[in-house]
Chain A
């Protein structure tokens, strides 16, 4: 599994990264959260609002800070 946080270093982006890390930790799965800050990568996903969350190459949310529980749900799914 691969989890990426797309963002350009705004405060919301770091908040989302933190929530994703907490979610992974609680689920106790060995997944590293990758932060993608490069514009090319972000637009490559077709995302127009950041922060965005990408799980296994699929954009699951854009433009909002998901809570830890929401991320857990997305990972389990």
Chain B
């Protein structure tokens, strides 16, 4: 529906020539930008609305019932629907541990929550299609579940920093909300996210459009294609400092895959961007000993690298 409108705008109203690099890139840019923003508004609103039903207190209550084998799975799934921002990682972590939720289960939650975020999902769906978006969710969940199980087995409870709780637990805020309140809340949240990421999205798509139009196809095959075994770990490592820029990074990656970057390598890179974040590690350092943070990063990083190789092997 959008595509013909853009064609009319670019080729008829602006009178740009078909087949010329610049007009093709402009067309690509306008189409992607409009599509992505429409998707962002709709999906973020829906996700925010669902999330009003899953405050962290509820998730904690569900997880603190003993589910020996399903705990990690449940934690990873709840990680998708529970609102989470890296600034709240510390109180959330402590709240879970205090409630007696096993460390491994808590880690499954901490991994799944940032990996499967609504912005990344929209960008993947809009730019790569629903299949890749589903693969991304599936791998994200699997990595979260397995990483949590591994960390749980390592018996690292001693690596949590002591925190002196200064008051007996107070009451959690009441969250009985009407549908109208939930809608108002979700609308506010959607606006807030769009305001924070719109510039990155436009820059990302802009650079993506430029790559799409001007970089010769196949240029990256040699460096980021399947045959280069170092590409996956390299992509994972450079993803770490790029946190919170999933919005700008994904359109870029989308363009790079067109020029020969292998799909598994691209997935590994995007997961590293969302899952392994330097600022979040700095925040978590206040409650975890450095050794635990390193274990956390290495286990998740290994999971991401394995996923990257796996999909390089499977796709195409």
Q: Give me the interface of A with B, judged by CB distance under 8 Å.
A: 7-8, 10, 12-13, 38-50, 52, 57-64
Taking the complex as formed, is B56 at the interface, i.e. its CB lies under 8 A from any CB of chain A? yes
Tell me which residues across on chain A come within 8 A of B286, comparing CB atoms: 39
A63 lies within 8 A of B165 (CB): no
Interface string of B274-286 (1 = CB under 8 A from A): 0000000001001
Closest chain A residue, CB of each to CB of B87: A10
Closest chain A residue, CB of each to CB of B97: A43
Q: Which of B64-86 contact A (CB under 8 A)?
A: 83-85
A-B contact pairs, 17 of them (CB 8 A): A12-B85, A40-B166, A41-B167, A42-B91, A44-B167, A45-B167, A45-B170, A46-B172, A47-B91, A49-B83, A50-B87, A50-B88, A57-B170, A59-B170, A59-B171, A63-B56, A64-B185
Tell me which residues across on chain B come within 8 A of A50, comparing CB atoms: 87-88, 91
Tell me which residues across on chain B come within 8 A of A8, comparing CB atoms: 87, 90, 283
Taking the complex as formed, is B258 at the interface, i.e. its CB lies under 8 A from any CB of chain A? no
A49/B283 contact (C-beta < 8 A), A43-B95, A58-B171, A59-B171 known = no
Taking the complex as formed, is B4 at the interface, i.e. its CB lies under 8 A from any CB of chain A? no
Instruction: Give the distance to chain B from A19, nearest Cβ to Cβ, in Å.
Output: 13
Tell me which residues across on chain A come within 8 A of B88, comparing CB atoms: 48-50, 63
Most chain A CB within 10 A, of B169, B173, B188, B286, is at: B173
Instruction: Give the distance to chain B from A25, nearest Cβ to Cβ, in Å.
Output: 23
Instruction: Give the distance to chain A from B64, nearest Cβ to Cβ, in Å.
Output: 13
Further 5 A-B residue pairs, CB within 8 A, beyond A10-B87, A46-B169: A39-B94, A40-B163, A44-B166, A52-B173, A62-B172
CA distance A8 to B57 in the complex (A): 20
Instruction: Give the distance to chain A from B139, nearest Cβ to Cβ, in Å.
Output: 27
Taking the complex as formed, is B259 at the interface, i.e. its CB lies under 8 A from any CB of chain A? no
CA distance A66 to B193 in the complex (A): 16
A44 lies within 8 A of B170 (CB): yes
CA distance A48 to B96 in the complex (A): 9
Tell me which residues across on chain A come within 8 A of B163, comparing CB atoms: 39-40, 43
A43 lies within 8 A of B87 (CB): no
Taking the complex as formed, is B92 at the interface, i.e. its CB lies under 8 A from any CB of chain A? yes
Instruction: Give the distance to chain A from B78, nearest Cβ to Cβ, in Å.
Output: 13
Closest chain A residue, CB of each to CB of B188: A64
A40 lies within 8 A of B283 (CB): no
Instruction: Give the distance to chain B from A42, nearest Cβ to Cβ, in Å.
Output: 5
Instruction: Give the distance to chain A from B7, nearest Cβ to Cβ, in Å.
Output: 41
Instruction: Give the distance to chain B from A57, nearest Cβ to Cβ, in Å.
Output: 7
Tell me which residues across on chain B come within 8 A of A63, comparing CB atoms: 55-56, 83, 88
Closest chain B residue, CB of each to CB of A50: B88
CA distance A11 to B74 in the complex (A): 31
Contact of B98 among A10, A43, A45 (CB under 8 A): A43
Tell me which residues across on chain B come within 8 A of A41, comparing CB atoms: 166-167
B60 lies within 8 A of A48 (CB): yes
B173 lies within 8 A of A39 (CB): no
CA distance A62 to B60 in the complex (A): 15
Tell me which residues across on chain A come within 8 A of B85, comparing CB atoms: 12, 49
